[in-house]
Amino acid sequence: MPATLAPAPAPVSFQTHPDRYRHWKLTFDGDLARLEMSVQPDGLNEGYELKLNSYDLGVDIELADAIQRVVFEHPEVRCVVLTGGLDRVFCAGANIHMLGASTHAFKVNFCKFTNETRLYIEDASKHSGKRFLAALNGTASGGGYELALACDKILLVDDRSSAVSFPELPLLGVLPGTGGLTRIADKRKIRRDRNDVFSSVAEGIKGKRAVQWDLVDRLAPLSRWDEAVAEMAAELAEEVPSEAKTGVALDAIGGDWDEDTLRYQYIELRLDRAARNAALELKLPADAGPKNGAEAHAAGSDWWVFRAFRELDDAVLRLRVNHPDIGLVTLRVVGDPGVVSATDALLATDEHWFVVEVRNQIRRVLKRYELSAKSLYAVADEGTAFVGSMLELALASDRIYLLNDADAPVQMGVTSANSGMYPMANGLSRLETRFLGDEAAVPRILEHRLDQGGALLDADTADELGLATFAPDELDWEDELRLAIEERASFSPDALTGMEANLRFAGPETMETKIFGRLSAWQNWIFQRPNAVGPNGALKCYGTPQRPDFNYDRT
Amino acid sequence: MSSIDYEQKIPNNVDLKSDKKLQRALEKWLPDYVQWWKDMGPTDFNEKDVYLRTAVSVERDGWADFGYVKMPDYRWGIFLTPNEKDRVVGFGDHMGTDAWQQVPGEYRNMLRRIIVTQADTEPASVEQQRLLGHTAPSIYDMRNLFQVNVEEGRHLWAMVYLLHAFFGRDGREEADDLLERRSGNPDHPRILGTFNEPCTDWLSFFCFTTYTDRDGKFQLLSLAESGFDPLARSCRFMLTEEAHHMFVGQTGLGRVIERTCELVNEHDGRDVRELGGIPLETIQRYINFWCSSSNDLFGGEISSNASNYFASGIKGRAYEEKLDADHRALEGHYEMDVLENGRLSKEEIPLRNAMNELLRDEYVSDNEKGIIYFNKIVERLGVDFRFALPHRRFNRKVGMYSEGWFDLSGKLISETEWIERVHEWLPSTEERAYVQSLMKPCLEPGKIAGWIAPPAKGIDGKPFEYEYVKL
């Protein structure tokens, strides 16, 4: 184990393609897809070796890409089998040496991304007509079992030695933090005392007891393994309808740096490194393009709204991982509000599978945006078009600054996209979450839906409706914004992240909010404690002859 | 947009005529301010012509333009000392970087708090003194009172200018609140305690202008060093006016002392109270009260706020620029008598945390000079009495010394001793009633009340008999 942290890693790219996968093999057979994990020893960074199908961020970027490919490029797929490509090994979870050598910030972002990817598996199951089978051909420990838990069903090989396990607590002094504790409790709804036992037994539970305790769904002997996997996959596929659909190729979205500006087709991200903030701008096209599902499908990757949100997704990920020092993002959406309302009308009403998937994609990107540990200010000044799906971006931000100037009128607008099309992690729409304490507010706003005869909202009306945090006039505008930005940059980044994470998700708890709000917060606390990362902490001692030396005081 | 001719109405050197933001803010605030003056200023004298000094520019001859004016028509101007080219932050963590011409977002709230606190004292003192005109010992003194009042009003303007020009909507709201709080009001009092103390007699007024306005002087001196340039320049200009207020206080107290000494000499052995004078012991007790109360205004002895203000470059030491010292103040210590477990012991306090105490040191030493001036009067008139400055630990309500009981020399005493002896040190109710009983107006030009001596000379080269206020 290296004594010092690895040197600053090279910028991480989140774009890949199955042709370039190093750790996964994605194959298709009719309505079945097979996603086989065979992790190569050299990972994204130096200083660790990915043994026994343990993973790092690079492995998970490929997994996330594969899920996207299955959803968009292979709509015919009804069941995806996740399995291990190494003999008698499914997956050993996140690589411990990689965690030990990473900065705290990187660890947190890594865990967040892997959590999002696990949720995308569940999202595809719930919204995209896919079923996922975890075919555990060998032991699934830690993050490996957490990955299995994200699937609809778990099949475990019954070879009298392979087990599912959470060794984090007993061996590493941390938590199964990639949704593991949440999913055994809230998804599989296993009894609390059994979860307690399971989570403290390093070698895990195998065979019949694993089925009895509902840790896995079924066992299959080695001799019948392939048939059993095929049978179970076929059963799962039957749960979803089969339709003839033609996929849409996901072309590369680019994104090139020109000094401090990252440019895509619709998104531009300008960094002000000295001020530690970034200006994110989404430029709408001049024309809304497709008028129905078929046209959208024909446009495919080039449908502007699809591309714009894929670009936004990529920009957000790069900001998170490659630019930890950027604390505040100011967001503007500029262009013709009519383009958004026309596109929203299509998104809201057309049930073409591709339109539905784009809608799902936008929902996921919005969540990724608001789950970022950056302060987010939406800036609605002259030329902006915070309407419908774009208004969601503003509502996903921590504050909305709206210019109220008769000579430079700013208009906002609501569409059906704001009435629950993109629920947040808490299951509510952003408007419902914003106005939890005022039941009448949401219907009052939705009265103005553009697709239901409403009109754009001028600054006064938008402010009265509660859509602006502050609506300074032209005399105050520049100063108010400057001061708000400078002030934000001066606060403790840790306290800001904590505050934002607490304020963004008012309302009910869901498995998702528990994963990000509770499990992750505890994990990130433990990640900072000497019992995990101190010189004699469990994470540091793992794999060395030394035993961890705990401070036994309970906090 | 405006119906007010700002240039005519408001003398300024901040280019008010082309600053729409400022005009818009003032347009709303100005009528409220005038209303506040009418309600809470020297109300009954608003229709009288007063011989006042008005600042009309920052030039040498511009800051003291004398003439008769009705107070509500006083031209409250907005003046900053001229821009100093390439000024840099002179202390703290930002030392050497360009002074801020705009509020840095990072320090917005801190700066606003400082400016509001300073601003709040200005209208407060007008409110505290609003009835004194009725009992003026001469129209010369009455005129001085009103001069102080209008200048406190102008200082409010100077601070409100900063709030309006640099703090957006928050600043406008704070400026409105400055007119909402009232000295001594149980529901919305002024921010600092001293500014809620009643000031209903002229002895208190002279003490106030000597001791409380001198606190103002040192607060202004430390803010005049601020890295936020507009604040520094505002305060530098205000200091010229503050000096006059202390002149009023210092000479006022001197004239009361002088009169008492005369009475003592003329009527050897008699109680001056029988002669309508104020005993020197009473004057000493008034000094004890106002000086100790004003000591509180400097804040806690060990203060992390003060340290933050200094570190941020917002509030320096008095004369920071001229000080031959480490302007970062990171290394040094301040040896302080710390009160702990009922005992005083020497402790080394990091310099930055002792900034309030350093400023208080300057204040105390300035006050010592005032005492010397009083004692010279007593000495000259051959009276066997000497004034003394109460120790900074005496009668404190703010800071660590408020946790204990201290006598005039700063010696730690028991609460019992305090209760037994407090009447020796602070004015009693009877004593206050006596002073109050002397407060009868004497408003004929050239005449003066029996408890105070006339001044050595008049204002602006005019004689004492001049009709400073046309009643």
Cβ within 8 Å, pair A483-B109: no
Length of chain A: 555
Tell me the shortest Cα–Cα distance from B15 to chain A, in angstroms.
Answer: 16
In a domain, A492, yes or no: yes
Domain boundaries, chain B: 6-470
Residues A459, A321 share a domain: yes
Residues A303 and A396 in one domain: yes
Contact A442, A431 (CB under 8 A): yes
Shortest CA distance to B428 belongs to which of B272, B271, B288? B288
Nearest CA in chain B to A491: B106
Same domain assignment for residues A479 and A515: no
Decide if B108 touches A, using CB distance below 8 A: yes
Q: Are residues A361 and A484 in the same domain?
A: yes
Residues A384 and A493 placed together within one structural domain of the fold? yes
Q: How far apart are CA A195 and CA A193, in angstroms?
A: 5
On whether both A424 and A532 belong to a single domain, the answer is no
Using DSSP bridges, classify how beta strands A153-157 and B333-340 pair: parallel, antiparallel or unpaired: unpaired
> If you search the block for the tokens 């947040």, which residue do you land on?
A424
Which of B106, B113, B170 to mutate against chain A (most A CBs within 10 Å)?
B106
Report how far residue B405's alpha carbon sits from residue B59's, in angstroms, rounded to the nearest whole number.
49
ipTM score of complex: 0.76
Given this model, what pLDDT does residue A9 score? 60
Residues A214 and A302 in one domain: no
Q: With respect to residue A10, please indicate whether it lies within any of the assigned structural domains.
A: no
Q: Is A295 on the interface with B (CB under 8 A)?
A: no
Q: End of a domain among A203, A238, A273?
A: A238
Burial class (CB in 10 A: 0-12, 13-18, 19+), B40: middle
Cβ–Cβ contact B287 with A under 8 A: no
A482 contacts chain B (CB < 8 A): yes
Q: Do A480 and B21 touch (CB under 8 A)?
A: no
Q: Nearest-CA distance from B171 to chain A in Å?
A: 11
| Whether residue A54 sits in one domain with residue A175 | yes
What is the second-level CATH architecture of the domain B6-470?
Orthogonal Bundle (1.10)
Whether chain B has a CB inside 8 Å of the CB on A480: the answer is yes
Nearest to B123 by CA among B27, B53, B188, B68: B188
> Is position A552 within any domain?
no
Same domain? For A412 and A366 the reply is: yes
Cα B184 from Cα A408, distance rounded (Å): 47
How far away is chain A from the Cα of B110, in angstroms, using its nearest Cα?
11
Cβ distance of A485 and B24 shorter than 8 Å: no
Check CB contact under 8 Å for B106 and A470. no
Q: Which candidate in B22, B169, B312, B314 is best for mutational testing of the A interface (most A CBs within 10 A)?
A: B169
What are the chain A neighbours of B104 within 8 Å (beta carbons)? 486
Residue type, B218: F
pLDDT at position A2? 40
Nearest CA in chain B to A476: B168
CATH number of A381's domain: 3.90.226.10
| Residue A471 and residue A527 in one domain | no
Based on the domain organization, do A523 and A377 belong to the same domain?
A: no
Among B18, B24, B101, B108, most A C-beta atoms within 10 A, so best to mutate, is B108
- What DSSP letter does each residue of A306-320 carry, written as one string? HHHHHHHHHHHHHHH
Q: Which segments of A188-347 are extended strands (E)? A: 205-206, 218-220, 256-258, 261-263, 267-272, 277-283, 328-334
CA distance A189 to A372: 29
Q: How many CA atoms lie within 13 A of B196 on its CB side?
A: 12
In-domain check, residue A248: no
Q: Is A476 on the interface with B (CB under 8 A)?
A: yes
Quick one: pLDDT at residue B198? 86
Give the structural domain span for A514. Answer: 506-541
pLDDT profile of chain B (471 residues), mean per 10: 65 89 89 93 93 86 86 90 91 96 92 95 94 96 96 94 92 95 93 90 97 96 96 93 92 98 90 95 98 96 94 94 90 93 93 96 97 98 96 96 96 96 96 97 95 95 95 90
Q: CB–CB of B105 and A479 under 8 A?
A: no
Provide Rg for chain B, Cα atoms.
23
Tens digits of per-residue pLDDT, A185-237? 999 999 999 999 999 999 999 999 999 999 999 999 999 999 999 999 999 99
Which residue of B lies nearest to A471 if distances are taken between CA atoms?
A: B169
Number of domains in chain A: 3
Give the chain B residue nearest A477 (alpha carbons).
B168
User: Considering the domain boundaries, does residue A142 fall inside one?
Assistant: yes
> Residue B3 has what pLDDT?
52
* A277, A403, A476, best to mutate vs chain B, most B CBs in 10 Å: A476
B108 contacts on A by Cβ (under 8 Å):
483, 486-487
β-pair partners for A262 = A257, A269
* Mean pLDDT (10-residue bins), chain A, 555 residues: 48 96 97 97 90 95 98 97 95 91 90 97 97 97 97 96 95 94 97 97 94 97 96 97 92 93 98 96 98 97 98 97 96 97 97 97 98 97 97 98 94 96 97 96 97 95 97 92 93 95 94 94 93 90 87 90
Domain identity same for A516 and A473? no
* Torsion sign over Cα A272, A273, A275, A280: positive
In a domain, residue A45? The reply is yes
The reply to whether A112 touches chain B by the CB within 8 Å rule is no
Which residue from A480, A486, A489 is facing B168, i.e. has the nearest CB? A480
What is the residue whose two structure tokens read 């600092």?
Answer: B192
